[in-house]
Amino acid sequence: MLAMFFWAFVVGGLICVIGQLLFDVAKLTPAHTLSLLVVIGSVLGGLGWYEPLINFAGAGATVPIVSFGNSLVNGALNEASKHGMVGVLTGMFEITSSGISAAIVFGMIGALLFKSKG
């Protein structure tokens, strides 16, 4: 179990280092960097290479935004295997619904609770 924490730390940290290199060396804006990481995630998901990383590193692979792309692809592919082509659209948010709904719900609650500073 301790090994799982260790690999979560290392893999999660390394993915963030890739992001930092895109910031500093490639001089991309945060929005470009995150979009690029998500696109990489969906390509890796399509190739089936992200799932082994999740099995290996747990939250080290599911917490970085890369896993968003992977989950979108997997949701779409799951539905597509059941219902055919239209599943690509209907299954898109099947797995990753919680990230978006949580962001909207907590964003709204945050706006109700907090005031902006400055």
Partner 1 sequence: MKKELKPEQKKYQELQQKHETKRPVLANCMKAFIVGGLICVIGQAVSLFYMYYFNFTEKTVGNPTVATMVFFSMLLTGFGIYDKLGQIGGAGSAVPVTGFGNAVISAAIEHKTEGFVLGVGGNIFKLAGAVIVWGVFSAFVVALIKTLWLMWI
Residues 66-95 that bind partner 1 (CB under 8 A): 66-69, 71-73, 76-77, 80-81, 85, 87-89, 92, 95
Please state the closest distance from residue 44 (CB atom) to partner 1, in A: 9
Residues with Cβ < 8 Å from 80, sequence gap 6 or more?
A: 87, 88, 91
26 interacts with partner 1 by CB under 8 A: no
Residue 52 binds to partner 1 (criterion: CB under 8 A): no
Choose which of 26, 49, 52, 108 interacts with partner 1 (CB under 8 A).
108
Q: Please, are residues 22 and 50 in contact by the beta-carbon 8 Å criterion?
A: no
State the number of binding residues for partner 1 (CB under 8 A). 83
Q: Which of 73, 66, 81 is nearest to 35 (CA)?
A: 66
* 3 forms part of the interface with partner 1 (CB under 8 A): no
The yes or no reply on residue 50 touching partner 1 (CB under 8 A) is no
From the list 59, 62, 82, 87, the residue with the least C-alpha distance to 1 is 59
**One residue of 26, 49, 52, 110 binding partner 1 per CB under 8 A:** 110
Q: Are 44 and 66 in contact (CB under 8 A)?
A: yes
